[in-house]
Amino acid sequence: MDKVEELLTRGVDQILPTKAELEKVLRSGKKLTLYQGFDPTGMQLHLGHMVGLKKLAQFQKAGHHVIFLIGDGTGQAGDPSGKMKTRERFLSNEELKKNATDYVKQAGRIVNFSGDNPIEIRYNGDWLNKLTLAELLNIAGHFSVQQLIERDLFQKRLEAKESLNLREFLYPLLQGYDSVAMSVDLEIGGSDQTFNMLAGRQLVKEIQNREKFVLTTPLLADKVGNKIGKTTNNVIALTDTPTNLYGEIMSLSDDVIVKALEFLTDVPIKEVEEIEKSVASGNNPMQYKKKLAFEIVKQLNDENSAQKAQEDFENTFSKGQIPQDVPTIKIKEASVELVDFLVDNNLAPSKSEAKR
């Protein structure tokens, strides 16, 4: 598998309009402008985000112009993707910017924001918040109500008699306009973002009269479809301590191992295929899960941290010993709310994160 083939297959769900067309462009030597957007509705990036970040890093290493887009504009509308109910509240631009304070630092563990080909950082609030009524109406004029309401998620909401807020309904139009504003050749996003990304493809074609490719990445989920991320309250944050990160990865179900090795690590694809065969033949997957945990901790921190985290895990869970670095906190009050306790002792960055 050469570099272009790996770029278009490893950690890829589908490519639109076709893989062959994008491959032709890449093999021609053209350098693309591409992006992925991240709405800062939470303060932490997690393993689910890492799938896309790995793909951005691959394109960056291949010399393409990559944009890391922070959705402080789209985040105000509230992406409905993967949600069967309307959000209880929508965040303001100020709240979103505050949440995104450490996004670049977190993403910098995987992609490079410096060097010869640094990833560009942009905020879509810079153009979305400046749209005039005429411009917004012009964007909306490229879509029909029937086209938007055909989205599977919206249909499921309607069938379940769940509310569909109009600002959620308009979300695909706002995300779609990002591709026009930045004049990108390619957009990357999770497979649950396909509808939104195709809206951008349509706007680029009709407004700018050119092609825009869409590359979807698979969602990191177990065999019954439980996604690892905020929506399912199953977050493994990129900033977790090496020991906690290692342990959390070890707690994942065995059926996630092979896909996570493919999506989140640089383990050669041939080795991943051999591991898949071994697991399928009934061999104990524990050694491969340890490899997965080690590789991810090493990537997000360093090899020494990964080695120490592995030793702590084995001492604690395999040998029944007590970890060497158990944090101890003394409670002064006779009674204390758990949420307050977590925030006051810097174990959670905010009350909302503590509750989650």
271-318 confidence digits (pLDDT tens): 999 999 999 998 889 999 999 999 999 999 999 999 999 999 988 876
- Residue among 200, 181, 180 at smallest CA distance from 189: 200
Cβ atoms of residues 194 and 206 within 8 Å:
no
pTM: 0.84
Six-digit token pair at 56? 């951005």
Helix (H) or strand (E) segment spanning residue 171:
helix 171-182
> What pLDDT tens digit does each residue of the chain (356 aa) get?
699 999 999 999 999 999 999 999 999 999 999 999 999 988 889 999 999 999 999 999 999 999 999 999 999 998 888 788 888 788 888 899 998 889 999 999 999 999 999 999 999 999 999 999 999 999 999 999 999 998 988 899 889 898 888 888 899 999 999 999 999 999 999 999 999 999 999 999 999 999 999 999 998 876 666 677 655 556 799 999 999 999 999 988 888 999 999 999 999 999 999 999 999 998 889 999 999 999 999 999 999 999 999 999 988 876 666 666 677 888 877 788 889 888 888 888 788 888 87
Strand spans (E) along the chain: 14-16, 33-38, 65-70, 120-123, 186-190, 213-217
Distances (CA, A) of 126 to 69, 73, 122, 247: 11, 8, 8, 40
- Give me 210's structure tokens: 């050119």
C-beta of residue 121 within 8 angstroms of C-beta of residue 68: yes
Residue 356, C-beta contacts closer than 8 angstroms, at least 6 positions apart: 42, 230, 233, 235
Q: What is the pLDDT of residues 93-102, one digit of tens each?
A: 889 999 888 9
Chain centroid to CA 274: 27
Q: Residue 355 in 3-state DSSP?
A: helix
Q: Give dist(CA 34, CA 65) in Å, integer.
A: 6
